[in-house]
Chains A and B, each alone.
Chain A
């Protein structure tokens, strides 16, 4: 499967899973709102341009917003994590070879600890901005902070499960030319 087709399929699947599974399951607790769709941005290939990332981030958030009827609520955090992604990868990965040798960020390409840091930071940023925008309407600072923390924890668990379910183990890219 080419990279383009794979990512289009992922985009659609992530939106559908978020809308029709995660948003539909009876809430575990009022502090826990699980999110998974933003993993699409985290899984985009290394060589995606920064501008493309921003456009894709906005599109992803906007698609989800179309379903929930809250335009802008999910697009804003998605754009922010799409903007932060390249900086974070640079920070965690000073060596250039990895970007050349591997297709996309994963526990295999980055190493377990840096990948975990990468996912945790972006998940937390996404959730914090999302719940902050919601808290602007409802209020309650402590409630918002606790909700961000708990939801991040549950989302991270979901990300871990997804990683274990879908083995994205990639071999080294071989120069075919």
Chain B
């Protein structure tokens, strides 16, 4: 017994070392999925508050760019107004859609909420964006996030009372279903953790005709994003002869460094398909 106590006393520092190292690694590998961040309420509120203070200053240096992007977004919305379209031919009947007076929000599928970015990173292999809007302001996990220019930014992974964490497309576990706008071939958009200006569109059949500059949009297969949001444009094709599919390098539609505002997308009709999926799994 005495020997054991002596042994422990002699190597006590080493045990402390092992304890702290083990604690760190346990925290890091706690979850296999992207929830590896045990993002506690207190830590998130404190760091969020500090980041907000910092962003109050940093925001001024971006005002010009933010303004420009908002003017562009407004322009796009103006061009979708009903008053912009007129049918000259009276023989053609304009179809009045019931949706135009959907005042009860019965048919609404996607609801957008703005959020201020307070913290952003692009240099890590797993990048998160923190926004000043949390559970109390209607944020839920798995909500899609887009930038003012309509490009996809990422997915909400955690939220505390007033702040939320967004897994950006620049994350090793990010996985968004994408489609080539021209041909309609679908694939998966991932990131390899290297260049922040290059995303990868995987699993595109080799019959697809792809040229530089083609648009890649969201496929609408996931419940997070509406169909047709910009993911990026094609840079080139990685021709892997051993594989039966193409991997396409694409340039993201969003400049992740300059994000100041984002929109969180809530799918109001996601409950039913989710329920169906759960039922299938249980069978």
Contact = CB atoms under 8 A, between A and B. Distances in A.
Interface in A117-147: 133-135, 137-138, 140, 143
Contacts of B43: 66
Interface stretch (B102-110, B122-130, B148-156, B226-234): B122-130
Interface stretch (B73-81, B192-200, B264-272): B192-200
Interface stretch (B24-32, B176-184, B207-215): B24-32
B47 A66 contact: yes
Interface stretch (A3-11, A22-30, A96-104): A22-30
A108 interface: no
Nearest to B37: A69
A33 interface: yes
A93 B30 CA distance: 40
A143 B125 CA distance: 12
A75 B20 contact: yes
Interface in A36-89: 50-51, 54-55, 57-58, 61, 65-73, 75-76, 79-80, 83
A30 B170 CA distance: 12
A71 B123 contact: no
Interface residues of B, number: 42
Nearest to B19: A54
A96 to B, nearest CB: 20
Contact of B128 (A27, A69, A79): A69
A143 B24 contact: no
B27 A54 contact: no
B20 A58 contact: yes
Given A26-B257, A54-B17, A134 B125 contact: yes
Contacts of B46: 66
B71 interface: no
A20 interface: yes
Contacts of A67: 47, 50-51, 119
B21 interface: yes
Given A30-B195, A66-B46, A138-B193, A72 B26 contact: yes
Contacts of A69: 37, 39, 128, 130, 165
Contact of A27 (B37, B172, B193, B196): B196
Interface in B2-35: 12-13, 16-17, 20-21, 23-29
A27 B36 CA distance: 24
- Give the interface size bracket for A toward B: 35 or more
Given A54-B20, A69-B37, A76 B25 contact: yes
Contacts, number: 97
Contacts of B36: 70-71
B63 interface: no
B16 A27 contact: no
B194 A134 contact: no
A20 B125 CA distance: 18
Most buried by A among B16, B38, B54, B257: B16
B222 interface: no
A73 B39 contact: no
Contacts of B128: 68-69
A73 B27 CA distance: 8
A80 B165 CA distance: 29
B121 interface: yes
A47 B47 CA distance: 32
Contact of A71 (B12, B38, B119): B38
B121 A68 contact: yes
A80 B21 contact: yes
- For the complex of A and B, list the 7 residue pairs with the smallest distance between their C-beta atoms, beginning with the closest: A72-B28, A72-B27, A138-B193, A76-B24, A75-B24, A72-B24, A71-B27
7 contacts: A50-B13, A67-B51, A70-B124, A71-B28, A72-B25, A76-B28, A79-B17
Given A66-B43, A68-B124, 5 more contacts: A67-B119, A71-B37, A72-B28, A75-B20, A75-B27
Interface of B: 12-13, 16-17, 20-21, 23-29, 36-39, 43, 46-47, 50-51, 54, 58, 119, 121-126, 128, 130, 165, 172-173, 192-196, 257
